[in-house]
Structure 1
């Protein structure tokens, strides 16, 4: 069942934990459906979080989507080559988001393995840039309403996550004391996680 708007209208830490075990579904241009179970996320708490793109209410063309009501996609490019998929959460004008860092391939896993050209199955989608390539998520998915559109959404199949590891986020040393916040969450013992 597709997640409803209400699910996203909470802070990034709460939504981030609850996104673990949920399924990202992506319909590609050729009509094929790809999906993956969320295994790892990072919460970005908005205006007061030095690691967030919207720290101090920074508002640019890129970050504008973060000011939407929760339930929109935020896709951005890092290092000029990797697209990252985020979920906008909280209320309108409270620019928080959850970065999806890892998924376990489900539908069309064989195609993902072939396209990704990796030797180990875990390397298909155990990182934010890897999972977007595996599922076919691109910058064209930026700003899409995850509740109403038919190209990309998140659903709940009732899967229960038993153990969640809480730790610091990755690659945000510039965020000073906020780099130490335990706002990265992943499913314990799942192989589709970027870094244990």
Structure 2
């Protein structure tokens, strides 16, 4: 999650490339196999530093179960946001009705609408009140491909199976996530949304399961201002060489943002932008 117009006064450390590893010591996790292979972690797995949780979520399976069916996505790209210490975080300006879930218990889903258009999904992590979270940026649909494709076709063009969950908005659509899932508990193995983290190092992998890949890091996508500093905030992590990882794009400049707003259809019933006065929302 991001706040592109925030200002900065905080710490940031360079993250190194690593290997996807999950500890076996997080509260006797439940081991599962099949398309949703992995472990359902206990809450304290999420009660850690956001950078550790972010790297640990790479290769994780996120499964949604709805009346339409089941869809599972293998996470291949994430971004970390460190609460009040992060100028790009929704939490930088403090709690609000919109970001209340971020300030709560770790291991819950934070869902928000970006720029009033697309939904994005995050996992809350760290101590209560710290408001850190990991944005799920991209993934590979490993279960329920037909349902994911149908959902994506309702929302727009689907060019290939690779693109079904390639990008945060596409990922949310493929999984069938909406604002009603904000606050969902992710550590309930019978919940509507379940996260299963990669099997611990040394555990035998099921047939067909890819071996953990190297993790690369870099600046977060679409961020303006101090939070875009690649030296301080290389907090976008992805599985090296995975085709479902989204392309990096810097934030558009102000003129481009205004042009997009002016050409976007207005379905709100409000007067045209040129007729409105006052500050932005």
Range class of TM-score, shorter chain:
over 0.9
Do residues 182 (structure 1) and 234 (structure 2) align?
A: yes
| Corresponding residue of 1:27 | 65
Do residues 153 (structure 1) and 194 (structure 2) align?
A: yes
Q: Post-superposition, which runs of at least 4 consecutive aligned residues in structure 1 deviate over 3 A?
A: none
Structure 2 CA distance for aligned equivalents of residues 133 and 31 of structure 1: 13
- Unaligned runs of 5+ residues in structure 2 are 1-38, 200-208, 249-281
Do residues 172 (structure 1) and 208 (structure 2) align?
A: no
User: What is the RMSD of the two structures over their aligned residues, measured on CA atoms?
Assistant: 1.6
Q: Match for 1:99 among 112, 135, 141?
A: 135
Preserved contact between residue 137 and residue 168 of structure 2 (Cα < 8 Å): yes
- More moved, 70-79 vs 1-10: 1-10
Q: Give the alignment of 1:13-162 within 5 angstroms.
A: 13-28=51-66, 30=67, 32-56=69-93, 58-117=94-153, 118-148=158-188, 150-156=191-197, 158=199, 160-162=211-213
Preserved contact between residue 3 and residue 147 of structure 1 (Cα < 8 Å): yes
In the TM superposition, residue 111 of structure 1 has moved relative to its aligned partner by: 2.2
Provide TM-score, normalisation by structure 2: 0.65
| Corresponding residue of 2:49 | 11
Sort the Cα spacing of 1:71 and 1:24 in 2 relative to 1 into closer, same or farther, 3 A.
same
Task: Specify the structure having the higher radius of gyration (Cα).
Answer: 2
Provide TM-score, normalisation by structure 1: 0.92
- Unaligned runs of 5+ residues in structure 1 are none
Aligned length: 193
Preserved contact between residue 88 and residue 227 of structure 2 (Cα < 8 Å): no
